[in-house]
Amino acid sequence: MTTTPPPAAAPESLLAAPDQASQAQISAEIAAAHADAERRVAAGEPLPTTLYDFPPYRSSILRHPTKNPRLVDPETIELLSPAFGQRDVAAIESDLTLQHAGEPLGERMTVEGRLLDSWGRPLRNQLVEIWQANAAGRYIHQRDQHPAPLDPNFTGAGRTVTDDEGRYRFTTIKPGPYPWRNHVNAWRPAHIHFSIFGSSFTQRIITQMYFPGDPLFALDPIYQSIRSQKDRDRLVGVYDHDLTSPEFSMGYRFDIVVDGPDATWFEPEKEH
Amino acid sequence: MTVVPPRTHAPTPGQTVGPFFAFGLGYPAMNQVVFPHSPGSLVLGGTITDGEGAAIPDALVEIWQADADGSIPRARGACRRDGHTFTGFGRAFTSDEGRYEFWTRNPGAEPGKAPFFAVIVYARGLPNKLHTRAYLPENAAALAADPLLASLSGEERATLIATRTPDGGLTFDIRLQGEKETVFLAY
């Protein structure tokens, strides 16, 4: 976590494009892209859950593949994945509120969940990494120049390894919504980035967890790059009062199911 | 053959890694699958480009590979390197010039099979991960017998085979879109 990001070309958060679309235009494009996807799926075309070709997310236009992925039988190496264990992380890395001398500002929260495969089996000893903006919606990344305050007591990165029930748990601060320059007045709903390993490299996933009831959901072309509502709902953490600690923190539950080909069925627990 | 039972849990969808992953996903020596300059080590590197051929400076590449004898690493410690344990996993961020680099060694494979690095690419602007493979260029017979490579056109095939450099390293460029677009995989 000490890697210094290189000074690089400014991402969309800094680029003031003169021809930026309005939110109304972006929202219309999102609706049209969803309708198109629905039509194609109804016609029998296999489309991914997350659309790679999704022009309302402007920076995807030149970065998405134009050809369908090639369906392939996984080889042995792809059916296994790197082995992680407690030696890979320090216990304190799962508490993002303890990384500095003082308490970070904002709404303290825990997020807890289980990592499961397509058959509901827990995935043990898997690495879970998270990163996020602070309570004001500011990332510590040097290329984030959003004029909201940095918090000297909050970095916003953590990692842990799942336990024997596939469970992970982080203590952090609820991130704020984040402005970016995809279009005029573009705001990302509050989110925590998640990076997860499964027991098979094919199950690897990087995604984002959101918070219930966010009014920005419908407006956000990244969240909406997932074409169906039921799949979008899977990225929303559930408020769980049983995870809320009296006079201390709010609790959210976010279970993660990794995908994988049928061949991943043949990999139950052998490395343990 | 074992019958695969019906799936009971729908997968969590993937999302873009976004622009600010470096402070969350970086860790010391993450691109050193082996210790630099150790016997048998080599540099595997390449450039990631977009549909206009422009370098992508905010991409993330991961490799996962067998050891030189074809065995699958089961040792822990890919996230906290000790400098000698071979865990088979590496992670690299692209530079301003869109270039990524790993210190690693040649993967092996099961007898008769073509050795490759399993590769995943993520980037700002890429809505979800992309899987691909970087095959070693040697062993023409194994490459010819590989079911994936055999199913591809000559041009597509070329996107999956790394180039050996004179110093024993490997070059594997990744084109997300357009001319010579890299073949990406679904399982």
Bridge partners, A205 (sequence order): A196
Residue at B86 is within a domain: yes
C-alpha span between A167 and A256 (Å, rounded): 10
Residue B16 has, within 13 A of its CA and on its CB side, a CA count of 27
Show the tokens assigned to A26.
């972006």
Q: pLDDT category, A164, cuts 50, 70, 90?
A: very high
ipTM topping 0.90: yes
- Do A159 and A96 contact (CB within 8 A), yes or no? no
Question: For residue A51, which residues of chain B lie inside 8 Å, CB to CB?
Answer: 127
Show the tokens assigned to A39.
């039509």
Do A9 and B57 lie within an 8 Å CB cutoff? yes
Q: Which of residues 12-31 of B touch A (CB under 8 A)?
A: 12-28, 30
Q: What is the pLDDT of residue A6?
A: 47
Residue with tokens 């869109």: B98
B122 close contact with A: CB closer than 8 A: yes
Residue at B83 is within a domain: yes
Show the tokens assigned to B31.
């691109």
Q: pLDDT category, A264, cuts 50, 70, 90?
A: confident
Q: Which of residues 104-133 of A touch B (CB under 8 A)?
A: 116-120, 127, 129-132
Residue with tokens 């190496």: A77
B40: left (phi over 0), alpha (psi -120 to 50) or beta: left
Residue at B8 is within a domain: no
Q: What is the pLDDT of residue A265?
A: 81
Question: For residue A141, which residues of chain B lie inside 8 Å, CB to CB?
Answer: 19-20, 22-23
For chain B, what is the domain count?
1
Q: Is A78 helix (H, G, I), strand (E, B) or coil?
A: helix
Residue at B107 is within a domain: yes
C-alpha span between A19 and B61 (Å, rounded): 32
Q: What is the pLDDT of residue A4?
A: 53
- Do A212 and A237 contact (CB within 8 A), yes or no? yes
* Residue B75: alpha-carbon gap to chain centroid: 19
Q: Residue-wise over B127-137: b if at least 16 C-beta within 10 A, else e?
A: bbbbbbbbbbe
% of chain B surpassing 70 pLDDT? 99
Q: What is the pLDDT of residue B1?
A: 56
* Residue A256: alpha-carbon gap to chain centroid: 11
Do B57 and A48 lie within an 8 Å CB cutoff? no
- Nearest Cα to A193, choosing from A239, A130, A245, A236? A130
For B104, the domain range is 20-175
Do A77 and B95 lie within an 8 Å CB cutoff? no
* Residue B137: alpha-carbon gap to chain centroid: 15
pLDDT digits (tens, 9 = 90+) for B25-60: 999 999 999 999 999 999 999 999 999 999 999 999
- DSSP code at position A6: P
Residue type, A71: L
Residue with tokens 């000297």: A152
Residue at B186 is within a domain: no
C-alpha span between B2 and B21 (Å, rounded): 40
A192 close contact with B: CB closer than 8 A: no
* The pLDDT of residue A242 is above 80: yes
Sheet strand arrangement including B116-123: A70-71, B185-186, B130-135, B116-123, B59-64, B89-93
> Closest partner residue to A72 among B19, B57, B185, by Cβ?
B185
- Within B15-57, strands assigned E span 42-49
Q: What is the pLDDT of residue A81?
A: 96
Nearest CA in chain A to B124: A59
Mean pLDDT of chain A: 91
**Which of B49, B52, B65, B79 is best to mutate for the A interface (most A CBs within 10 A)?**
B79
Q: What is the CATH number of the domain that holds B32?
A: 2.60.130.10
Supply the residues of A annotated as catalytic: 139, 178, 188, 191, 193
Q: pLDDT category, A260, cuts 50, 70, 90?
A: confident
Residue at B2 is within a domain: no
Q: What is the pLDDT of residue A271?
A: 47
- DSSP code at position A18: T
pLDDT digits (tens, 9 = 90+) for B116-131: 999 999 999 999 999 9
Do B26 and A48 lie within an 8 Å CB cutoff? no
> Closest partner residue to A119 among B8, B14, B152, by Cβ?
B8
Q: What is the pLDDT of residue A2?
A: 46
- Do A104 and A245 contact (CB within 8 A), yes or no? no
pLDDT digits (tens, 9 = 90+) for B88-97: 999 999 999 9
- Backbone dihedral angles phi then psi of residue A239, each to the nearest 5 degrees: -65, 130
Q: Is A108 helix (H, G, I), strand (E, B) or coil?
A: strand
A91 close contact with B: CB closer than 8 A: no
Q: What is the pLDDT of residue B3?
A: 84
Residue at B93 is within a domain: yes
- Do A109 and B185 contact (CB within 8 A), yes or no? no
Burial classification of residue A268, based on how many CB atoms lie within 10 Å of its CB (0-12 exposed, 13-18 middle, 19 or more buried): exposed
C-alpha span between A266 and A138 (Å, rounded): 43
Do A59 and B124 lie within an 8 Å CB cutoff? yes
Residue at B78 is within a domain: yes
